[in-house]
Structure 1
Amino acid sequence: MPTGVALRDARDQLFDAAERVLLQDGPSALTSRAVTTEARCAKGVLHRHFTDFDAFLAELVLDRVARIDERTAVLHKTAGAGSIVDNLTRALMDSFGPVAVAIVSLVTSRDTLRARLRRARPTGVPILTDAAAVIASYLRAERELGRIAADADVDTLAPTLIGAVHMLFADRQGAPPEVGAVRKVVTTVLSGVDRNPPH
């Protein structure tokens, strides 16, 4: 098997194992031993591909952020169609799936991981910052189409939506919120700027 393929397979196997540990037991349980045990491989496999465990975690976060970014990027394509509240509600429900919430928890719980991620991404918390940028871009497009008030401050509205919705999802042990709860947050945050509110 070519080296590149073997490396990719090992990385994916380790990332998937780390995700399972993270979802089952939370960020504090995520150790190199837990990951390699879950992946059913020798501990040396992880250290062959990554300089240390923080490097592994940083790559895991960036890999999962890229996957989430791909899903939320479809939001921009909905500009001008349907209800803005419905479009944002769907995007936010997608953005805050169990993996995303667990990754945010991991990043905020490890100082060394945050420091490492700042080298690749100088500002913000991955996933939260990415989702806010996608939503701001979408709201900008809707504002240009006249469906959002011309004076709407989309750069404030977007992180407000992210922060408020993240609070609904942040309890890792609880059930995720109902769509109606997310929709209510979106409706409240956009009240006064949504020129085409759903009835």
Structure 2
Amino acid sequence: MREQLFGAAERILLRAGPNALTSRAVTAEAGCAKGVLHRHFADFDAFLAELVRDRIRRLDDQAAGLRAAAGTGAVADHLTAALLDVFGPIAVAVVSLVISRDGLRAQLRAGGSTGVPLLTEATALLASYLTAERALGRIAADADVDVLAPTLIGAGHLLFADREGTPPDAPAVRRVVTTVIAAVVREP
């Protein structure tokens, strides 16, 4: 039931944005009684917080795969692919949701999240990968990955933030990535 409710919430976010997301809309989309949501979650913000945490947990697999790719291929290609994954349509909608709901942010911060949840964890994902590449000598030893990672996430978010426009293509994302890492990349 939990996954069914999350799927319903994601469909509403994609179709109509965060303002359309209500407990009644979610349960109607999921095809269940309104009480079902409240049986599984303390309130609607608790449901939304768990939805965001679920999206954050999905980044863990991506982080492991990205770190495993360190030392192979081109750094810019890996970072471009990571940004394209991080800023998929659902993630962009979830970030909009987090930004628009004070109660949701309060729930997430009470659980230990900082900054803008999902973007903060995506930043950590990129920093982890850049650290691995720096250890392999493919990124300059003096590169500040704690500045590079949020710079990439911020630039990526600006590229993808327009939920109603056409998302940028891989070459546009790669152009941003190569510009940000140009001074520190040490690949042949």
TM over 0.5: yes
Aligned to 2:24: 33
Aligned to 1:5: none
Aligned to 1:133: 124
Q: Secondary structure at the match of 2:166?
A: coil
Moved segments of 4+, more than 2 Å: none
Aligned to 1:87: 78
Matched, 1:50 2:41: yes
Deviation at 1:147, TM superposition (A): 0.8
**What's the TM-score once normalised by structure 2's chain length?**
0.97
Alignment RMSD: 1.1
Matched, 1:19 2:7: no
**Counterpart amino acid of 2:8?**
A
CA distance in 2, matches of 1:117, 1:161: 23
Q: Secondary structure at the match of 1:152?
A: coil
**Counterpart amino acid of 2:166?**
A
Figure out how many residues of one structure are paired with residues of the other and give that number.
188
Aligned residues with identical type, % of pairs: 69
CA distance in 1, matches of 2:35, 2:113: 31
Deviation at 1:188, TM superposition (A): 0.3
Matched, 1:104 2:95: yes
Deviation string, structure 1 residues 19-58 (Cα, Å, up to 9, x no partner): 1111100000000010011011111111111111111111
From 32, 42, 51, give the equivalent of 1:60: 51
User: Does the 8 Å CA contact 1:101/1:170 hold for their aligned counterparts?
Assistant: yes
Matched, 1:168 2:144: no
CA distance in 1, matches of 2:59, 2:89: 11
Deviation at 1:73, TM superposition (A): 3.0
User: Does the 8 Å CA contact 1:72/1:94 hold for their aligned counterparts?
Assistant: no
CA distance in 2, matches of 1:73, 1:98: 22
Structure 1 unaligned blocks of 5 or more: 1-9
Matched, 1:70 2:61: yes
Deviation string, structure 1 residues 56-77 (Cα, Å, up to 9, x no partner): 1111111122123323431111
Deviation string, structure 1 residues 9-28 (Cα, Å, up to 9, x no partner): x1111111111111100000
Aligned to 2:144: 153
**Counterpart amino acid of 1:112?**
G
CA distance in 1, matches of 2:127, 2:169: 24
